[in-house]
Amino acid sequence: MKNIKIQIIAVLLLFSTGCQNFLNVEPKDSLSGNNFWQDINDAETFMLEIYRQFRIGIGIERPTMLVGDFRNSPVVKTQSFPNRMDIPMIAEGQIRTLINVQALTSDGADGANSFWAPEAAWNKMDDWTPAYRVIQSANILYEKVPEIAISDPSISENIVRRYQAEAVFMRCVTYYLLLRHFGDVPYYTNAYNQDPLPRTNHIEVAKRCIAELKAIKDDLPWTYEDPTNRGVRANRGGVLALMMHLNMWCAGFEEGNAVSYYQTVDSLGDELILTGVQQEGAYELLPITRSAEIFNGRSREGLFEIPTNPNYQDPNSPSGTERIERYRRHFVGHVLHAPYFALNQDRFNSEAAFEPDYMRKIYPESEPDGRIEAWFRSRPEMYEGEGSFLCFKFFNFAFGEENTEQSVGYYQIVFRLAESILLQAEALAALGQDDKATSLLNMVRSRANAGLYPASNNYDNNLADAIFWERCKELMGEGHYYYDLVRTKRLLDSEYCWHTMPYSVFLQEAWTWPIHPKALSNNPFMRLNEYWR
């Protein structure tokens, strides 16, 4: 019966999101019929389907997080893989060429090398339809779940509010991923939108999401008694982390109001640490020796993450049996090789590495750091920029030195405690509250067995720089690098960005991604990102 309900929901959501225009959705009476929305199991089944839509459409079918690590970054293709032309293209910001499959050959001709774009799915990143399926589904749940309390008076208002809060979180986290990728995006919260909509300014979208999240954050638990829900289901810590990011995004683009946004981030960070960590005990920074647990998912450091597994076969995938967790859409697929990566037992070099000068910048040669031993095979290989580069950050040696079902940590971490601590530190440094900012920075460095700031400092006693480079180091492979460059405008400065963007081009919103022309279908109010037309 449960499988039948899941199949019914999948069909309903498919039709409810439309085919020609995702913003022009006709109401379907069947969503309130077929005896659905009668009990709490219906709400739970529908909610789980929303998480599945998010996981598949945003986390697996396209390299959503990988863009944040590779775009305008110091990543390089190794000599062992000279045909990985997509890597230098995204690193240099050649987005037009990157999404044109036919151009992905070293000699300009059509050939075998052209498969890299669809293999990594760069050419799917201009299609925002899967994200709007999540948003539309969340809107439906928010509206429909109160009907349960009408049909079943035993369902408390608190339960209804919790499901609605989950829906709001999933809607807002999806909008967050959309706006930092495309800039201005259509915004709506009604369950059955029937009108074509224009794009809303990305700062306005962020502000609306902040207001929505503020209204519901206390309706979610800090964590769940069932550990299988930890990190992968909306919780109060994840809401606080998302609000912090939305405020920092606004601060970067609304400089006149930046102080207010930074102050809000500081307050949210205090709530997360003083209440969520210290009072409720819901989260903790795991010792560096246990960091592999973070990326195997559902750890006490995780605030929100996308659960994936290379051995998992999704019964709802197009083929029904194909592994859709394609490893080249995840950071780990580029920086591991045999014998540590069973999907590539014939590959004995990594496909990607990082510029040696960048690695020396974030890991100075004379500075101790426990992450080197925990995440890399050796310090010399870190600095070579070649196929010998190995990053074990997403590999759990507790299961042996060869790939097992558990050894490769494919979970994509959207927010975790260490990242939120550094975000609060960044806000405090901008406010001139150096002592508190330093304390937070050193909380992360101490966990990593690294030298404390400023005694161990390679950044000319510049606290803001120390925090930025700490984020680069701590969050490598988690999709933050490029978006940190964008919101702080460091994308324009060669001191921080290996492939800078001219200011005039930045103002034309070249920092965004192209939008697929199908978004114009039946929508006279829609416009594409002009720079990429």
What one-letter code names the amino acid at 24? Answer: N
User: Residue 308's pLDDT is what?
Assistant: 81
Angle in degrees, 0-180, between the axes of helices 40-54 and 157-182, rounded to the nearest 10: 10
Nearest to 35 by CA among 141, 163, 151: 151
**Which residue, 204, 123, 222, is CA-closest to 165?**
222
DSSP string, 112-176: GGGGHHHHHTGGGTT--HHHHHHHHHHHHHHHHTHHHHHH-TTS-HHHHHHHHHHHHHHHHHHHH
Q: Is the pLDDT of residue 17 over 60?
A: no
Mean pLDDT of 42-70: 95
Percentage of residues in the chain having pLDDT higher than 70:
86
Least confident of 10-19, 125-134, 326-335, 409-418: 10-19
More confident residue, 115 or 434: 434
The whole-number pLDDT of residue 309 equals: 67
Question: For residues 531 and 515, what is the distance between their CA atoms, to the nearest angstrom?
Answer: 11
Quote the CA–CA distance of 255 and 123 in Å, as a whole number. 33
Of 119, 3, 111, the C-alpha closest to 61 is 119
Distances in Å between the Cα of 341 and the Cα atoms of 99, 112, 353 are 27, 24, 16
Predicted local distance difference test score (pLDDT) of residue 24: 45
Structure tokens at 114: 């052209």
CA 71 to chain centroid, in Å, comes to 14
Domains of the chain, earliest start first: 1-62+127-216+503-533 (1.25.40.890)
Instruction: Name the band, by pLDDT with cuts 50, 70 and 90, for residue 11.
Output: very low
Task: With cut-offs at 50, 70 and 90, classify the pLDDT of residue 118.
Answer: confident
The overall average pLDDT reported for the chain is: 88
pLDDT band at 124 (very low <50, low <70, confident <90, very high): very high
Given this model, what pLDDT does residue 342 score?
Answer: 58
Q: Is the pLDDT of residue 320 over 80?
A: no
Sign, CA dihedral 313-318-322-327, equals negative
CA of residue 282 relative to chain centroid, distance: 22
Q: What is the mean pLDDT of residues 344-359?
A: 90
Q: Which residues of 206-237 are buried (b: 16+ CB within 10 A; e: fewer)?
A: bebbbebbeebbebbbbbbeeeeebbbbbbbb
Give tens-digit pLDDT for 130-162. 999 999 999 999 999 999 889 888 889 999 999
Contacts of 339 (CB under 8 A, 6+ apart): 345, 401, 402, 403
- Check residue 311 and give its pLDDT: 55
How far, CA to CA in Å, does 84 sit from each of 99, 116, 120, 392?
14, 7, 10, 21
